[in-house]
Structure 1
Amino acid sequence: MGAAAAGLLLIYNSVDSGSPAESASGQAAPPAATAAPTPGAASATPIPTAPATPKAAAQGAAAPPLKRAVPTRLRIPQIGVDAPFTELTLNPSGQLNAPPPDDKNLVGWYRDGVTPGERGSAVVAGHVDTTKGPAVFLLLSLLLPGNKVEVQRADGTVAVFSVDSVETFSKSAFPDQKVYGKTPDAQLRLITCGGTYDKKRKDYLDNVVVFAHLESSRRA
């Protein structure tokens, strides 16, 4: 997901348990990932790199981008999220591995992409639910413009993002440039699954995407 990326793929990984209240997650894959279907994965959308301007309420002034630092914890007070990060890597097929499905309170970021706070669109993925029940991003769609998202980083800083918009997109018509395009400032994308659960495909039909920009930073 870095500035040098030639393209991206959105990968959808689901955990089937027979009911939409108990299964699904959505992941964003890194540059040059492949889209070969695997058990538990649905479709993939190629995403070329391009400028992105998310539809939103008037965006406040963006803070200067931060230096690269590994994210360690995600906090979203408005929806009760307080979760550690895990690094997401590619599997042998070139797809992004999802966060472990047995941990309901875990978010992931692609370790070779933009870190939250760096210039560009940093992507954070999390399960909406798993076979064990509701998961970390269950209430993601309830966020509102102006809500805050905090990312604690390994360098001792906390990057504070302000939500610009929350949108739902069909996976069959995912607006790749809008979500993953290059940006002149530090932005954040939080992604999970949403919409109707298709039992036949064992996947949700939509993705919920939160668009946010870096508003400030502070020492932890």
Structure 2
Amino acid sequence: MSSRPDLTTRRAGGRHGEPWRAAGAAVVILLAMVGSGLIGASLNGDTVRPPQPIAQAGTAPATSTAEAGSGDADRGPAGLPRSAPTTISIPRIGVNAEIMALGTNPDGSVQVPPLDQALLAGWYEPGPSPGEVGNAVIVGHVDSAAIGPAVFFSLGALQPGDIITVSRQDGSSARFRVDSVSSHPKDTFPAEQVYGPNDRPGLRVITCGGQFDETTGDYRDNVIVFASLVW
């Protein structure tokens, strides 16, 4: 992985509908790299492992707050204008991190923050911005050989009802409530639920998790937080 992400690569489709299937498939490659920094930590005898979601691996996400309501009043806010995110705050796990914009690599895979900036989160810029209608995607490393626990080390400890706040470039903030947190094997990544169309504002926060494979030097699963805009 290069020391700086290549932000000049092609965009992977639009924000809704069929093009997202291609983008969703690429994320399996993306998240195979997230958390790969534990190779060094493991070899150095560091046995600290990130917390894992209560939800069983592969469990489908719970119905979101936005999807559960029968009327517009129950479905949450209609959404905000597009604006790039600047920081993400998750009080329960002590996250208060800056966000960098990410695109796609020449092979079509989604970029991740470089390991030498493992305390930064990354927003998938070709998709919706947090607070905008659709599923905004934010990714981050679970750990790094250089620093140990990274920005989303404790992501699996989140629970439904927890709050995630994303500050935006236009001065506004998008506040999300966690609907569900689950772990998914990388070979069955729920691309449609992460990148698929949504007529309400949603947020997906992703890192690596599950068992660490000493042979491949990678985690076997992805931890995914599904959240909905509350204001």
Give TM-score, length-normalised by structure 2: 0.74
Once the two structures are superposed, the pairs formed by residues 1-220 of structure 1 within 5 Å of their partners are: 2-3=15-16, 5-7=19-21, 8=23, 9-10=26-27, 11=30, 12-13=32-33, 14-15=36-37, 16-17=39-40, 19=42, 54-56=61-63, 61-131=75-145, 132-216=147-231
Contact 1:23 1:129 in 2 (8 A): no
The size of the alignment, in residue pairs, is 188
- Matched with 2:71 is none
Evaluate the alpha carbon distance shift between residue 19 and residue 56 of structure 1 in structure 2; reply closer, same or farther with a 3 A threshold: farther
Gaps of 5+ in 2: 1-13, 50-59, 69-73
Greater shift, 99-108 or 53-62, is seen at 53-62
Distance 2:103 2:192 in 1: 22
* 1:57 CA drift (Å): 7.5
- Structure with the largest fraction of strand: 1
Distance 1:165 1:182 in 2: 18
Evaluate the alpha carbon distance shift between residue 22 and residue 90 of structure 1 in structure 2; reply closer, same or farther with a 3 A threshold: farther
Distance 1:152 1:18 in 2: 32
- Matched with 1:46 is none
* 1:22 CA drift (Å): 8.2
SS in 1 for 2:193: helix
SS in 2 for 1:197: strand
Identity %: 41
Contact 1:74 1:152 in 2 (8 A): yes
Gaps of 5+ in 1: 25-52
Evaluate the alpha carbon distance shift between residue 177 and residue 90 of structure 1 in structure 2; reply closer, same or farther with a 3 A threshold: closer
RMSD value over aligned CA atoms?
2.3
Evaluate the alpha carbon distance shift between residue 80 and residue 118 of structure 1 in structure 2; reply closer, same or farther with a 3 A threshold: same
Evaluate the alpha carbon distance shift between residue 56 and residue 95 of structure 1 in structure 2; reply closer, same or farther with a 3 A threshold: same
* 1:93 CA drift (Å): 2.4
* 1:181 CA drift (Å): 1.7
SS in 2 for 1:83: strand
- Matched with 1:36 is none
Contact 1:22 1:134 in 2 (8 A): no
- Structure with the largest fraction of helix: 2
* 1:178 CA drift (Å): 2.3
Greater shift, 15-24 or 202-211, is seen at 15-24
One-letter code of the match for 2:88? L
* 1:23 CA drift (Å): 11
Distance 1:57 1:66 in 2: 18
Evaluate the alpha carbon distance shift between residue 55 and residue 65 of structure 1 in structure 2; reply closer, same or farther with a 3 A threshold: same
Give TM-score, length-normalised by structure 1: 0.78
Contact 2:123 2:137 in 1 (8 A): yes
SS in 2 for 1:17: helix
SS in 1 for 2:197: coil
